[in-house]
């Protein structure tokens, strides 16, 4: 008998649904480029179907209780059709990278159908140099970038020999719940809230000192979030009304270059990433005629608050921190130092804790209040651009015997945000995926070039600094000849 999988959306997941609009799509994904000839479409569909039991959420759709009695629920889709979700297309000859980018932009321009499981995968043939691509698209309410489990993850093998992964028994979907059952489940969830509060109260009685300390820290954290909310981000050409259409671009880098910079100049790889983004945005703003003296942008930097035992679980466990991008800095080394100090200060602050507390309070809110709370907690006025950096595997992955060569992550555009930057490392690479509004950023190619220039400039400074601080090696004195 199949295991029943029916869950209410968490407050964070439901907030991603509440944030979605006609022009702001809340799906994320990737462009994956493989070497070798593409598999047959039927072979890919069979491979996906054989592994769906490892991610049961991908066989579920949303069900909405009437009268907003509780948050939406994930329920089995009895009409699941894999061929609807796994799609097949080809690039026009000669199959250039530019054609692949245009296709990705068109795919990411269209919202996912909420009456079906919220994911798509496109097999793209015709890429030059004997390659093919997959383009994946999944709603952010289903999975975050740091949970460790999504469909692409379970499709990959660690060797060129495909592994056989079959379910122990055939999947039998649960019947769809009736409207009455959905309302009853929603009421049940609301009714459980006092018991959750009571359990916390009992815990407080058992450890009053620890509870007081946690409450004090939580209050300070919420205070920091509120203070950040009272200080909106500056107005820039990045923050304008957007439409539904998208541009996609990516920039390829070596992970070792970023490590070399942080080893020479200090900080973390993420500090270096934010500094490179800062340098590129400074150049781009000047291209747009914006004065950058005294201007500091804010990046929304997602942070995982997933506990160790919660890894490899679907659903979002993230909080958002607002990190500075000091575009007023002319000197890249000075810029890195300012970014490093600011990010260290954020990590030591309680901003992420405050966001987590707010998310926890939303668990007890009805959907109408949840929608308002999510907009406050994720207010688009508070940041200029999303910059998300996810570490990936540093070894090759394979799909049906074909090696994955490039992994380009794609984020999402909130309302009034023309650009989002996603970064992911894979097998020695660190690639930037740029998603932009089609009309607001016709100069996206210029920004991509500025990212390359910014990295080269910072890497040059790191190598100059390394040479300046390198001590000459002592040489052994050789006796003179008799």
**Which residue from 138, 55, 123 is spatially nearest to 86, judged by alpha carbons?**
123
Per DSSP bridges, beta strands 297-304 and 385-390 are parallel
Q: Is 235 helix (H, G, I), strand (E, B) or coil?
A: coil
In 306-354, the DSSP E strands lie at: 318-325
Task: Judge contact between 74 and 14, C-beta under 8 A.
Answer: no
- Residue with token string 């179907």: 49
Q: Give yes or no: 140 in active site.
A: yes
CA distance 293 to 321: 24
Burial per residue of 351-388, b for 16 or more beta-carbon CB atoms within 10 angstroms, e otherwise: bbbbbbbbbeebbbbebeebbebbeebbebebbbbbbb
What lies within 8 Å, CB to CB, of 161 at 6+ separation is 401
Q: Any bridge partners for residue 382, and if so which?
A: none
User: Under a CB-based contact definition with an 8 Å cutoff, are residues 48 and 122 in contact?
Assistant: no
CA dihedral sign of residues 274, 223, 384, 97: positive
Confirm if 172 and 59 have CB atoms less than 8 A apart.
Answer: no
Cα separations in angstroms, 165 against 72, 134, 281, 310 = 31, 21, 45, 23
Give the Cα separation of 447 and 4 in Å (integer): 48
Between CA 329 and CA 297 the distance in angstroms is 12
* Planar angle of CA 108, 248, 399, nearest 5 degrees: 75
Query: Of 25, 53, 139, 140, which one is the catalytic site residue?
Result: 140
Q: Which residues are catalytic?
A: 140
């Amino acid at each position: 008998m199949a295991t029943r999988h029916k869950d209410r959306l968490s407050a964070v997941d439901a907030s991603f649904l509440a944030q979605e609009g006609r022009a702001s799509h809340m799906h994320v994904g990737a462009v994956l480029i493989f070497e070798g000839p593409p598999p047959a479409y039927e072979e890919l569909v069979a491979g996906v179907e054989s592994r769906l039991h490892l991610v049961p959420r991908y066989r579920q759709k949303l069900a909405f209780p009437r009268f907003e009695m509780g948050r939406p629920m994930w329920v089995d889709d009895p009409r699941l059709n894999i061929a609807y979700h796994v799609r097949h297309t080809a690039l026009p000859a000669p199959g250039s990278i530019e054609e692949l980018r245009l296709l990705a932009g068109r795919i990411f321009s269209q919202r996912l159908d909420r009456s079906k499981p919220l994911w798509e995968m496109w097999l793209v043939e015709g890429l030059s140099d004997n390659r093919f691509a997959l383009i994946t698209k999944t709603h952010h309410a289903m999975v975050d970038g740091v949970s460790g489990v999504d469909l692409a993850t379970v499709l990959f093998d660690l060797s060129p020999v495909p592994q056989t992964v079959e379910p122990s028994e055939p999947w039998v979907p649960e019947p769809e719940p009736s409207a009455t059952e959905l309302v009853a489940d929603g009421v049940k969830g609301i009714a459980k809230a006092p018991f959750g509060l009571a359990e916390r109260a009992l815990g407080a009685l058992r450890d009053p000192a620890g509870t007081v300390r946690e409450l004090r820290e939580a209050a300070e954290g919420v205070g920091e979030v509120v203070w950040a909310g009272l200080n909106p981000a500056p107005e820039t050409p990045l923050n304008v009304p957007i439409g539904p259409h998208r541009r996609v671009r990516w920039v390829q880098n070596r992970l070792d270059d970023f490590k070399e910079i942080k080893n020479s100049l200090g900080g973390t790889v993420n500090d270096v990433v934010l500094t490179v983004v800062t340098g590129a945005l400074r150049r781009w703003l000047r291209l747009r005629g914006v004065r950058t003296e005294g201007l500091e942008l804010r990046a929304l930097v997602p942070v995982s608050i997933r506990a160790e035992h919660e890894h490899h679980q679907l659903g979002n466990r993230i909080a958002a921190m607002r990190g500075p991008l000091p575009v007023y800095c002319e000197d890249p080394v000075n810029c890195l130092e300012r970014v490093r100090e600011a990010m260290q200060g954020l990590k030591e602050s309680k901003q992420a804790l405050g966001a987590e507390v707010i998310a926890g309070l939303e668990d007890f809110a009805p959907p109408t209040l949840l929608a308002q709370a999510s907009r406050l907690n994720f207010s688009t006025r508070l940041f200029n651009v999303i910059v998300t950096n996810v570490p990936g595997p540093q070894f090759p992955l394979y799909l049906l015997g074909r090696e994955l060569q490039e992994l380009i992550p794609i984020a999402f555009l909130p309302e009034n945000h023309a650009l989002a930057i996603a970064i992911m490392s894979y097998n020695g690479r660190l690639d930037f995926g740029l998603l932009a509004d089609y009309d607001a950023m016709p100069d996206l190619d210029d920004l991509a070039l500025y990212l390359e220039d910014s990295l080269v400039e910072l890497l040059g400074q790191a190598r100059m600094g390394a040479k300046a601080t390198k001590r000459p090696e002592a040489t052994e004195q050789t006796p003179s000849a008799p």
